[in-house]
Amino acid sequence: MNQHFSATVQPAAETRTPEDVVRLTDVKRRFGATAALDGVSLRVRKGEILGIIGRSGAGKSTLIRCLNGLERPDFGEIFIEGRDIARLGERELQPLRRRIGMIFQHFNLLSAKTVEDNVALPLKIEGRPKAERLHRAAELLELVGLSAKAKAYPASLSGGQKQRVGVARALAARPALLLSDEATSALDPETTRSILALLKDINRQLGLTILSITHEMEVIRSIADRVAVIDAGRIVEAGPVWSVFANPQSRITQSLLGGIRPQLPDEIAASLSASAGKEAILRIDVAGEAASRPLLSDLATSIPGSFRLIHGGIDHIQQQPVGSLFLGVPTGADHVARVIDFLAGRGARVEVLGYVAGND
Ligand SMILES: Nc1ncnc2c1ncn2[C@@H]1O[C@H](COP(=O)(O)OP(=O)(O)OP(=O)(O)O)[C@@H](O)[C@H]1O
């Protein structure tokens, strides 16, 4: 019964530019009969935050392991700063690995070392002198707002503080890329927001390139510039966050967005029927220019006949208005068709969700 009236948002073309920090081309990795990665192509440009989202088992961990050289792809190219890590030997991989800082869901701090020693650890591994290590650790602890905890041990820190230490440690060796592996999945919503704000801040201040792997759309929404959706080892959709949120093309993206996009209230959804009733229930998605105009007041003046606003609103993602509205529109004559034509003509995406008996 669902009818769509929409313009298609195409995934960004995966061509290479000198500004790419990461570029994957047709990367494949199988485990027996399972294709964990089934031809993944993507790129991360210098200074951008790319979010990769997928459900459990989609291939995210395999992708991370391929990026940091812990796993070798069966096929394809993985360029980090212009060098194909899939073809490097273990010795050549070491310096390249240091170009990647990582933060983890469970922080992975060393409990027997102080906060400053944890932060300085990558520099110790590089053989840097102690004075330089401590200076850099102090600098980074200030950046993440934890100078006062330099001599503390991880056990005395909250989850959010531990992740701040994790971020500082990941930045110690001045990486070209920060790889975030579900970095906020173990944190409460408020702490999650503060860590995401920190990452965004670091991205802006230092121009740091970030690849964030997550199963939470909220993470993508808060920090990413672009998003790639992975499912069964394939990138099924990619594009600027606001446009993917405004017009998700694949079922999996729609389902991952389900929790944070406005939905028809349950009591109305329960009374929907596929056969025409007195009132059609429309879902209207608008973004950009279409969401900036007085859509509903223009509808009311252009198409005489009542409609009711059931639910919805306009959000702002990457400074772009993106919204979903649910309208009840009386059936009869060609009224619903005229309302749909008007809205589609204004650049809105309209879906007839079904019909309800309507108010007498
Ligand atoms: N070492 C392995 N041996 C066998 N199968 C594997 C191995 N690693 C991954 N897989 C399989 O490959 C697929 C992708 O797994 P992967 O761990 O990359 O997904 P994921 O998106 O990270 O999932 P999760 O969010 O649950 O960690 C899954 O079907 C998984 O069972």
Residue 224 pLDDT:
96
Instruction: Measure 62 CA to ligand 1 centroid, in angstroms.
Output: 6
CA of 30 to the centre of ligand 1 (A): 10
Q: What are phi and psi of 121, to 5 degrees?
A: -55, -45
- The CA distances from residue 7 to 83, 157, 240, 256, in Å, are 38, 49, 15, 21
Mean pLDDT by 10 residues, the chain (360 residues): 37 57 96 96 96 95 93 95 88 88 95 97 94 96 97 97 97 95 94 96 95 93 96 97 91 89 90 88 92 90 89 89 93 91 94 82
Gap from CA of 37 to ligand 1 centroid (Å): 9
**Using CA positions, which residue lies closest to atom 26 of ligand 1?**
56
Nearest CA to ligand 1 atom 30: 57
Ligand 1, atom nearest to 59 Cα = 18
Query: What pLDDT is stored for residue 293 in this prediction?
Result: 86
Query: Closest Cα to residue 323, out of 332, 313, 333, 331?
Result: 313
Element (H, E) at 239: strand 234-240
Report the distance separating Cα 30 and Cα 37, nearest Å: 7
- The pick from 28, 30, 34 for probing ligand 1's pocket by mutation, whose C-beta has the most ligand atoms within 8 angstroms, reads 34
Rounded distance between C-alpha atoms, residue 192 and residue 196, angstroms = 6
Residues in CB range of 145: below 8 A, 6 or more apart: 164, 198
Judge contact between 285 and 349, C-beta under 8 A.
yes
CB-based burial, 30-64: b 16+ in 10 Å, e otherwise: eeeeebbbbebbbbbbbebbbbbbbeeebbbbbbb
Domain ranges of the chain: 4-251, 266-356
Closest C-alpha to ligand 1, atom 24: 56
CATH fold for the domain made of 266-356: Alpha-Beta Plaits (3.30.70)
Q: Distance between CA atoms of 100 and 122, rounded to whole angstroms?
A: 11
CA 57 to ligand 1 centroid distance, Å: 5
Best of 52, 60, 184, 219 for a ligand 1 pocket test (most atoms within 8 Å of beta carbon): 60
Coil vs helix vs strand at 138: helix
Rounded Cα gap, residues 86 and 93, in angstroms: 9
pTM over 0.80: yes
pLDDT computed for residue 37 by the predictor:
98
Protein residue with its CA nearest to atom 11 in ligand 1: 36
Tell me what pLDDT residue 351 has. 94
Rounded (5°) CA angle 190-193-196: 150
Q: Which fold has domain 4-251?
A: Rossmann fold (3.40.50)
List residues near ligand 1 (CB under 6 A): 31, 34, 36, 54, 56-62, 215
